[in-house]
């Protein structure tokens, strides 16, 4: 088993800088498009053989150092009593019961058995670690309150400021859901987990600290020590110090902050994951190679516990597959050479 990814998470020596790509399974891959033409997205997520196959596609193509379970952050909301649709165009659409008190507590093994079955299939196939994941409670809450994606998240902020008791109550319910869901994935065999907090970066640092951080700490606390926990906040560069307080083993960063500056601010005790702009994959190879080298060199600074190379957010559907492969090969080649 190639365990460079897990070793980097734990701050142990690695042969090279491990790399995987957020959203590495998906529409930029022709073999994904082929399966997707036959099944809708939810069917893919809920059919273990299909979800496992789609998880493996980028592993075969790209030679990445970790696989991420194919699913979606919104999947555990369905058994809570929320209707979720993924229309062919535009973002997801959610319909929730009027009364928040009607949300149900979920039992992951009973309500989402297909996720654990997918993990079990994958463990037999993979010789790299499998990452499980969940949406973080605030990001899940925004999808519930906004009934989908949003521009300025006014409904979420009105709810947070105007009905803060109810807000925290929903955050608590979602946190319990996340703890149960991630624990079930770990029990099934996931070797690391990532919490995606795509929308926490819309908050002021003060509001992140007051409304989000206590809940995330409560989730990470019991999971830590089990498997490495990665916490990724899109747009979180302005309050990295607070993000570090979450207790995560690895902090994911987007491309809006220089990774060297992020490392200086994170200080010791955590590893860092990131941070190439997904659009940089559209640079000519020579220029891209320079950017990759710069990130790797900064990631090798001794003040940080470890570095996992990744994009700063999901790979774009328009990305040429060869460019993604070039990225992974370059990370391996450059970082192995720099270690000599």
Q: Please, which residue, 36 or 155, has the CB nearer to ligand CP3?
A: 36
With 0-12 / 13-18 / 19 or more C-beta atoms within 10 angstroms meaning exposed / middle / buried, residue 1 is exposed
DSSP structural state of residue 196? E
- Tell me if residue 231 is catalytic: no
- Tell me if residue 143 is catalytic: yes
Please list, residue by residue across 177-191, b when 16 or more beta carbons sit within 10 angstroms of its beta carbon and e when fewer do: bbbbbbbbbbebbbb
Q: Please, which residue, 304 or 327, has the CB nearer to ligand CP3?
A: 327
- Tell me if residue 36 is catalytic: yes
Q: How far is the CB of 182 from ligand CP3 (least distance, A)?
A: 13
CA–CA dist 64, 330 (Å, integer): 12
Pair type for strands 192-197 and 229-233: parallel
- Beta carbons of 206 and 142 less than 8 angstroms apart: no
Q: Please, which residue, 138 or 159, has the CB nearer to ligand CP3?
A: 138
Given the residues 39, 61, 72, 291, the one annotated as active site: 72
Q: How far is the CB of 135 from ligand CP3 (least distance, A)?
A: 6
Given the residues 16, 28, 32, 143, the one annotated as active site: 143
Instruction: List Cβ neighbours of 86 (8 Å cut-off, separation of 6 or more).
Output: 40, 41, 42, 92, 93
Q: Please, which residue, 23 or 297, has the CB nearer to ligand CP3?
A: 23
With 0-12 / 13-18 / 19 or more C-beta atoms within 10 angstroms meaning exposed / middle / buried, residue 98 is exposed
Tell me which residue of 16, 217, 202, 48 sits closest to 121, measured CA to CA: 48
CA–CA dist 175, 3 (Å, integer): 29
Give me the residues that bind ligand CP3 (CB under 6 A), please: 22-27, 36, 41, 68, 70-74, 86, 91-92, 133, 149, 196, 198, 234, 314
Q: How far is the CB of 185 from ligand CP3 (least distance, A)?
A: 12
Q: How far is the CB of 152 from ligand CP3 (least distance, A)?
A: 16
- Tell me if residue 27 is catalytic: yes
Q: How far is the CB of 21 from ligand CP3 (least distance, A)?
A: 8
Element (H, E) at 309: strand 307-311
Q: Please, which residue, 42 or 338, has the CB nearer to ligand CP3?
A: 42
Given the residues 10, 23, 256, 325, the one annotated as active site: 23
- Tell me if residue 10 is catalytic: no
Q: How far is the CB of 76 from ligand CP3 (least distance, A)?
A: 12
DSSP structural state of residue 92? -
Q: Please, which residue, 131 or 334, has the CB nearer to ligand CP3?
A: 131
Given the residues 10, 27, 256, 291, the one annotated as active site: 27
Pair type for strands 271-276 and 250-252: parallel
Task: Give the residue numbers annotated as catalytic, written as ranges.
Answer: 23, 27, 36, 72, 143
């Amino acid at each position: 088993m190639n365990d460079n990814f897990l070793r980097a998470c734990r701050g142990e020596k690695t042969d090279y800088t491990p790399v995987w790509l957020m959203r590495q399974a998906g529409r930029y891959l022709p073999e994904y498009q082929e399966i997707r033409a036959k099944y809708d997205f939810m069917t893919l997520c809920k059919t273990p053989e299909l979800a496992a196959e789609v998880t493996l596609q980028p592993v075969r193509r790209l030679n990445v150092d970790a696989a991420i379970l194919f699913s979606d952050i919104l999947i555990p909301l369905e058994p809570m009593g929320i209707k979720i649709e993924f229309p062919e165009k535009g973002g997801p659409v959610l319909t929730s019961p009027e009364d928040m008190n009607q949300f149900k507590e979920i039992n992951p093994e009973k309500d989402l058995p297909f996720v654990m079955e997918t993990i079990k299939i994958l463990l037999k196939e993979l010789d790299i670690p499998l990452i499980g994941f969940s949406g973080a409670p605030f990001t899940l809450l925004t999808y519930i309150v906004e009934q989908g994606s949003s521009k300025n998240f006014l409904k979420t902020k009105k709810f947070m400021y105007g009905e803060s008791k109810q807000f925290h109550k929903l955050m608590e319910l979602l946190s319990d859901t996340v703890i149960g869901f991630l624990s079930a994935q770990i029990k099934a065999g996931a070797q690391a987990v990532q919490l995606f907090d795509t929308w926490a970066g819309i908050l002021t640092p003060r509001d992140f600290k007051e409304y989000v951080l206590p809940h995330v700490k409560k989730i990470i606390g019991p999971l830590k020590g089990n498997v490495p926990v990665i916490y990724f906040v899109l747009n979180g560069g302005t309050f990295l110090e607070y993000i570090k307080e979450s207790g995560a083993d690895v902090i994911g960063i987007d491309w809006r902050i220089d990774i060297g500056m992020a490392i200086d601010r994170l200080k010791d005790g955590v590893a860092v994951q990131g941070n190439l702009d997904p659009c940089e994959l559209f640079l000519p190879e020579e220029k891209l190679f320079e950017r990759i080298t710069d990130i790797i060199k900064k990631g090798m600074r001794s003040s940080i516990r470890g570095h996992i190379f990744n994009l700063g957010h999901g790979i774009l559907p328009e990305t040429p597959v060869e460019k993604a492969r070039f990225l992974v090969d370059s990370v391996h080649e450059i970082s192995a050479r720099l270690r000599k």
